[in-house]
Structure 1
Amino acid sequence: MVQSKFRGPSTTRFLEWLTPSSLSTLKPYNSTLSVLLNEHGGIIDDTVITKHAEDAFYIVTNAGRRDRDLQWLQGKLEEWNSEEGKGKGAKVELEVLEGWGLLALQGPESASYLQTLTPFDLTKLPFGTSAWVSIEGYNLHVARGGYTGEDGFEISIPPSQTVDVATLLSKDTKVVQLTGLGARDSLRLEAGMCLYGNDLDETTSPVEAGLTWVIGKDRRETGTFIGAEGVRKHLKEGPPRRRVGFVVEGVPARQGAKIFAQQTQVGSVTSGIPSPTLGKNVAMGYIQSGHHKKGTEVEIEVRGKMRKAVVEGMPFVKPRYYRG
């Protein structure tokens, strides 16, 4: 992941120009999922934005989108800070936290385990908030959240300390196991979460992606943000397609599998797995509006054969976040 900090007297206004989210009302050390949009309202990347103080924000974006994101951000920053820019002389600074580690400690026992390593009372850190926490002498930025649907924490670590902290957190192998992105991918899909490059791209609007909730209610009609025209068109007229879930008979449907209704292709799968929690094949994808309602029966072409599938609501597995 790429970690960045934005600061300066017009940072809130700048980030509300880059994204459709309501950041001015965000409380300090609270976070929100958001999206960077292109001029047409397509999603350049999804991001988590954390407010540290008035006009000071910490942002996490996807490593796979690093070059595109930073080019876009730096270009828009130059435009904002120019003499004719919207910043009107109140400049914004961007600091990319090069080399910083970001460890995700996730799972039902994550809080009780982390509590043994810190005097900080983790019951006072609900989902979507963060704090500077002392962990065995390391002063680290800890955010309660993650991309698994489980309770957990994302811990930001300076480059010189990343290996030591990773070793510390994984020392009790009876409680903590190192896992790769395959485990994360199955959990995030069960939780109905998008993965950039699979379920999101620059041709997809947040309305199509089922992410309308990241658009501030106060910004949907009058907010000035990049891509607003395209987003409002989908809000007003309805999107031409929608991201939905499926339960698939037989074998799992993978990315790219075609979805049919009465022998006509009406969509395609973007992510699919055999769910380890549910014991059935689940998938998500985009389907033409009108075919998106829960319970709609469709067919998905998998390995040259048509498999029966049913549109299912997401998440497939109810998330277990700690709300306090």
Structure 2
Amino acid sequence: MLAHNQDSLKRTPLYSLHVSLGGKMVPFAGYDMPVQYPAGVLKEHLHARAAAGLFDVSHMGQIALRPKSGKLADAARALERLVPQDIVAIAEGRQRYAQFTNADGGILDDLMVANFGDHLFLVVNAACKDADEAHLRANLSGECIIEQLADRALIALQGPKAEAVLGKLCAEAPAMKFMDAGPHEIAGIKCFVSRSGYTGEDGFEISVPAGDAERLARMLLDNPDVLPIGLGARDSLRLEAGLCLYGHDIDTATTPVEAALEWSVQKSRRSGGARAGGFPGAETILAHFDGGASRRRVGLRAEGRAPVREGALLFADSAGGEPIGKVTSGGFGPSLSAPVAMGYVPTNLSALGTKLFAEVRGQRLAVQVAAMPFVKNTYKR
């Protein structure tokens, strides 16, 4: 049975490269993915913070949204029926973080939306990509041509030396600013490049034709500043950066306001804005903007050295009482040499410095509500 399950896993265009580099392969979102390489999670994490790391994120979904009218504004307005973000205002060559919401204001998925001039380019989460495509087709087929770009890989180059590394292969890369996105040639390969990522570091995400993916990855890895990075370090890097993981920190029962993602909803879509509402769950989400939500995602720092993992219950007191919240992501932060976590607590207990207690192996460990990101981001703005 195990062999059958292993055989049923999908492989990214970089699977053979991972194996040749000694990647430890594990199932993830239906794919056979590297969780780490011989260097190990700790060294991979610290290398991405100090130099540059290369990540295979080809399991993510890539979707082109093309307006049937030929006017991009029509596709942007159509997409605004599904997300609380201002898509019309995304300038050509820029991208924006967004969420698909449901009728209750919960988050179906989070995604990136880029304006490529004649169409919108979407990157969605691996586990949600089929449902996201179906959601788009069910709601936007009248105005848009929805194309899943299944013949492309996606790689991320992250870290303070990412600009110098990519600049040797793409002369335009160093001039890009955080959240710039568009078509660029890298070593003669036609790619889609955004200056963004999931680590809190400066860096780039590169959509590349599947047939060119391994060649491009090897060119980047030929630079001594670049190390391949697996899923393990990708998770610890994004946790230190205070970034949400879909299905853990955000889900269908969590609104953007509860998730502390208010910054991602532009004023034009909020109460009193020129195009306020008009997206699924708007009544609930706008009510949270106006009156606040009862709970909130917060950062947590443990007073000891023991990591507080996902699922740990949170309490207001060191003994007795009912749980007041739960940890949604947690682990050891290698950059800080200390445990970090995030979770949901009642809004009246969400102020920085609030002392709470996390239950770990039957004991309640003191934790404190802390500012995120835990490690200062280095985006080039």
2:250 corresponds to which of 183, 193, 200: 200
2:219 corresponds to which of 168, 183, 188: 168
Q: CA deviation at 1:101?
A: 0.4
Per-residue Cα deviation, 1:157-192 (whole angstroms, up to 9, x for no partner):
1122112211222123x2111111111111111111
Which AA in structure 1 matches 2:360? Answer: V
Q: Is 1:4 paired with 2:58?
A: no
1:53 corresponds to which of 117, 126, 131: 117
* Aligned-partner Cα distance in 1 for 2:312–2:151: 37
* Aligned-partner Cα distance in 1 for 2:256–2:75: 23
Q: Is 1:72 paired with 2:130?
A: no
Q: CA deviation at 1:237?
A: 2.1
Q: Is 1:113 paired with 2:188?
A: no
Say which SS state the counterpart of residue 155 (structure 2) adopts: strand
2:307 corresponds to which of 221, 244, 252: 252
TM-score, structure 2 as length reference = 0.79
Per-residue Cα deviation, 1:207-262 (whole angstroms, up to 9, x for no partner):
00011111120111133112111101211221111000010133111110000003
Q: How does 1:98-137 map to 2 (within 5 A)?
A: 98-120=150-172, 122-137=173-188
1:17 corresponds to which of 81, 99, 103: 81
* Aligned-partner Cα distance in 2 for 1:123–1:102: 20
Say which SS state the counterpart of residue 129 (structure 2) adopts: helix
Unaligned runs of 5+ in 1: 82-90
Q: Is 1:142 paired with 2:193?
A: yes
* Aligned-partner Cα distance in 2 for 1:158–1:321: 26
Say which SS state the counterpart of residue 306 (structure 1) adopts: strand
Q: Is 1:185 paired with 2:235?
A: yes
1:219 corresponds to which of 244, 269, 276: 269
Which AA in structure 1 matches 2:163? Answer: A
* Aligned-partner Cα distance in 1 for 2:254–2:369: 20
2:343 corresponds to which of 278, 285, 291: 285
* Aligned-partner Cα distance in 1 for 2:301–2:120: 39
* Aligned-partner Cα distance in 2 for 1:17–1:77: 9
Q: CA deviation at 1:68?
A: 2.2
* Aligned-partner Cα distance in 1 for 2:184–2:120: 18
Conservation of the 8 A alpha-carbon contact between 2:277 and 2:283: no
Which AA in structure 2 matches 1:163? Answer: E
Which AA in structure 2 matches 1:114? Answer: L
* Aligned-partner Cα distance in 2 for 1:12–1:70: 16
* Aligned-partner Cα distance in 2 for 1:116–1:232: 46
Q: Which piece of structure 1 moves more, 201-210 or 127-136?
A: 127-136
* Aligned-partner Cα distance in 1 for 2:138–2:108: 14
Identical-pair percentage: 41
* Aligned-partner Cα distance in 2 for 1:131–1:203: 33
* Aligned-partner Cα distance in 1 for 2:251–2:131: 12
* Aligned-partner Cα distance in 2 for 1:301–1:67: 37
2:99 corresponds to which of 14, 35, 44: 35
* Aligned-partner Cα distance in 1 for 2:269–2:128: 26
Q: CA deviation at 1:35?
A: 0.3
Conservation of the 8 A alpha-carbon contact between 2:116 and 2:182: no
TM-score, structure 1 as length reference = 0.92
Q: CA deviation at 1:99?
A: 3.1
Kindly report structure 1 stretches of 4+ aligned residues shifted beyond 3 Å. none
* Aligned-partner Cα distance in 1 for 2:166–2:133: 33
* Aligned-partner Cα distance in 2 for 1:272–1:239: 23
* Aligned-partner Cα distance in 2 for 1:115–1:284: 35
* Aligned-partner Cα distance in 2 for 1:171–1:238: 50
Q: CA deviation at 1:300?
A: 0.3
Say which SS state the counterpart of residue 68 (structure 1) adopts: helix
Q: Which residue of 1 aligns with 2:360?
A: 302
